[in-house]
Homo-oligomer: A and B are copies of this chain.
Amino acid sequence: MKITFMPQNVTWEAEEGDTILQAAVRAGVNIDGNCAGKGTCGKCKVKILEGDLSECMDHHHRLSENEIEAGYRLACCHKVSDGMVVEMPEAETTASRKRRMVNLPEGFEPAAWVEKHCITVEKASLANQHSDEVRTAEALGWEDLRFSYSALKKLPRVLDEGGEITVTLRDGQVIDVEKGNTERENYGVAVDIGTTTVVVMLWNLGSGEMEEISAVTNPQGAYGADVISRITFVMEKAGNLEIIHKAVIDCINRAIDEFSRELKVQPENIYQFTVVGNTTMSHIFLEVDPSSLALAPFAPAFTAGREVAAGDLGLHGNASAQVYTAANIAGHVGSDITAGVITTDLMKCDKGHLFIDIGTNGEIVLTGNGRAVACSTAAGPAFEGSSIKQGMRAARGAIERVDITEDGAAISVIGDCQPVGICGSGIIDAVGELIRTGIVDKTGRLLGREKLEKKGVSEGVLKHIREDGNASEFVLYFSEDGKNDVVITQKDVREVQLAKAAISAGISIMMKEIGLTVETLEKVSIAGAFGNYIRNTSAINIGLLPKIDEKKIVSLGNSAGIGASMILLSERCREESETVAAQIQHIELAGRSDFQDQYMMAMMF
């Protein structure tokens, strides 16, 4: 039965009994959910433009009467009817904006171990009855050259017509043979599987140049916003692991198919993949059960880097293509961190150097005094906008920056349009400004008008304060009719407070572990695109980052994607990544008796 998703205008042949959510995931249309299809989070709300509205499945307590009347339904609780047309939430459709090209570190030398050589092979004769395989090796001047099985199967046909052929070599093995000269058609794909976004980068392995990059919303979002809810989904029913695994494989394949269409790159010419992600994403990518990561002691099934045939995973590429999944460090410190670390000089371990990746989990790596330690802190989704009243992703309409002056609050909005919510960098900035200006006190209390007046806060600022009984809120944006204001609530501030405390306590324990103080810290590297957007002073003001000179703070950009690309392009970087993962010592905060103390201490702003 046909279903059409708008405004993407994607039509999909759904199975009888599929929910709209299931159909959307299979069709590759981005849709979110936090509750793994239980109908409890209400995030997958869609508007049914055409089709049967009657098949409600009793979860409409997440929808208002007006919404139900207007045709809104939860995609996870409503079955597809034939010919259905559905309008998807606007924010999601803009989330797949392309990111800027990846810049490899200066001085990086690509040295991919996939090579293509155009050669002419001697025809067999009674004087040289050597096999096709051996005559090809002779032409390359290479003894004992083995062919992969898929290359061997192609060989007789390719040699049959005579003339030039191109052989593809990897690790002393011929993995492909083609007619004519195809030396330039030598591609690899680096993938950074984020919980929220999947970044797929197409590289030319010969030239070391990036050909294209695609960043799309991780379709696993339909089964939960964070790793824990996705693991819960996996644990619910046999078969769910396969579903959520296939969702990310299909997502990568769609990016490859798009590259193929747009750039005329044949998937058969993709010979190598490198994949990084947090440990849960790494497990799900390989269809390895991640259940143990949801509960203490958080031991993963594997951490080591490994090679798997692309065909075994169903990835579109050459029949002999290999997928290398980079080494994870621990259950909640994944290969995205490993990849990020190799983009830096962190492992010199000669000075105090803090590496931090802020998200639902705040992963921290700290080096210095000849040691390297890492931990993961459960910051919760505040910095991703999820537990915040009007929080949203960094998409069109999100407030990403806030300045509080005597005149009031000035905001920057992604897309320069009317704001509809506030994203992670905006929350940090807003709370940072509220603290700097004393509107939020050290205990995290958003002060009322009376107290602020006493402190001499200007009228321009005071008018942003709205009081409701005991609690105050700060209005960032006043809409014309007052119905679409964007605010920061007391509860929002508390969420930020809990989140920053977790990360801050983690940093303190790491510092204690290797004997560093804030004064001896010489560098802070912020991983992820997030680092590009947060204002360092605000991050310091809320206590998320240690109080150090702003000049010592470096934003790494998409360090996981850059690292994945480096591993793809250089055998040396691959080895280095394995060394890094083995050398970094993981500290389990849940196992530290001093963590609760540090956490409580870090709670103050």
User: Which residue numbers of A lie inside 8 Å of B, CB to CB?
Assistant: 124-135, 146-147, 149, 152-153, 155-157, 160, 286-289, 291-292, 296-304, 306, 308-309, 312, 330-331, 586, 588, 590-591
Q: Is the CB of A300 within 8 A of B149?
A: no
17 A–B contacts, CB within 8 A, in A order: A124-B297, A124-B299, A126-B297, A126-B590, A128-B299, A129-B298, A129-B586, A130-B299, A132-B300, A133-B301, A133-B302, A133-B303, A134-B304, A149-B306, A149-B309, A152-B288, A156-B288
Known pairs A304-B146, A590-B126; A153 contacts B286 (CB<8 A):
yes
Most chain B beta-carbon neighbours within 10 Å: one of A147, A157, A300, A308 = A300
A309 to B309, CA, bound (A): 11
CB-CB nearest 7 A-B residue pairs: A124-B299, A126-B591, A156-B289, A133-B302, A132-B301, A156-B301, A126-B297
What are the residues of chain B within 8 A of A296 when measuring CB–CB? 126
Known pairs A124-B292, A156-B292, A287-B153; A129 contacts B302 (CB<8 A):
no
Known pairs A126-B591, A132-B300, A300-B131; A146 contacts B288 (CB<8 A):
no
Q: Is the CB of B292 within 8 A of A129?
A: no
Q: Is the CB of B302 within 8 A of A131?
A: yes
What are the residues of chain B within 8 A of A297 when measuring CB–CB? 124-126, 128-129
A574 to B135, CA, bound (A): 24
The complex is assembled from copies of this chain, and their number is: 2
Q: Is the CB of A303 within 8 A of B126?
A: no
Q: Is the CB of B331 within 8 A of A129?
A: yes
Q: Which residue of B lies closest to A298 (CB)?
A: B129
Q: Is the CB of A591 within 8 A of B127?
A: yes
What are the residues of chain B within 8 A of A124 when measuring CB–CB? 292, 297, 299
Known pairs A126-B590, A126-B591, A308-B149; A303 contacts B131 (CB<8 A):
yes
A291 to B128, CA, bound (A): 17
A287 to B155, CA, bound (A): 12
Chain B proximity of A384: nearest CB distance (Å): 26
A563 to B149, CA, bound (A): 24
Known pairs A127-B591, A129-B331, A586-B129; A303 contacts B134 (CB<8 A):
yes
A134 to B129, CA, bound (A): 49
Q: Which residue of B lies closest to A292 (CB)?
A: B156
Chain B proximity of A118: nearest CB distance (Å): 21
A330 CB contact (under 8 Å) in B127, B129, B157: B129
Q: Is the CB of B292 within 8 A of A132?
A: yes
A152 CB contact (under 8 Å) in B130, B133, B302, B591: B302
A283 to B590, CA, bound (A): 58
What are the residues of chain B within 8 A of A286 when measuring CB–CB? 149, 152-153
A152 to B133, CA, bound (A): 33
What are the residues of chain B within 8 A of A153 when measuring CB–CB? 286-289
A134 to B302, CA, bound (A): 7
Q: Which residue of B lies closest to A300 (CB)?
A: B131
What are the residues of chain B within 8 A of A299 when measuring CB–CB? 124, 128-132, 135
A289 to B312, CA, bound (A): 24
Q: Which residue of B lies closest to A283 (CB)?
A: B156
Chain B proximity of A590: nearest CB distance (Å): 6
Q: Is the CB of A302 within 8 A of B147?
A: yes
Most chain B beta-carbon neighbours within 10 Å: one of A289, A299, A308, A586 = A299
Given contacts A128-B299, A132-B292, A156-B289, 9 further A-B contacts (CB under 8 A): A126-B591, A127-B591, A128-B297, A129-B588, A131-B301, A132-B299, A149-B306, A153-B286, A153-B289
Q: Is the CB of A146 within 8 A of B306?
A: yes
What are the residues of chain B within 8 A of A146 when measuring CB–CB? 304, 306
Q: Which residue of B lies closest to A127 (CB)?
A: B591
What are the residues of chain B within 8 A of A302 when measuring CB–CB? 131-133, 147, 152, 155
A129 to B125, CA, bound (A): 62
What are the residues of chain B within 8 A of A298 when measuring CB–CB? 129
A300 to B330, CA, bound (A): 50
A299 to B157, CA, bound (A): 14
Chain B proximity of A551: nearest CB distance (Å): 37
A131 to B149, CA, bound (A): 33
Q: Is the CB of A291 within 8 A of B156?
A: yes
Q: Which residue of B lies closest to A323 (CB)?
A: B149
What are the residues of chain B within 8 A of A291 when measuring CB–CB? 156, 160
A348 to B289, CA, bound (A): 54
A304 to B152, CA, bound (A): 11
What are the residues of chain B within 8 A of A300 when measuring CB–CB? 131-132
A471 to B433, CA, bound (A): 115
What are the residues of chain B within 8 A of A308 when measuring CB–CB? 149
A134 to B303, CA, bound (A): 8
Chain B proximity of A236: nearest CB distance (Å): 15
Chain B proximity of A367: nearest CB distance (Å): 20
A296 to B128, CA, bound (A): 11
A149 CB contact (under 8 Å) in B155, B289, B312, B331: B312
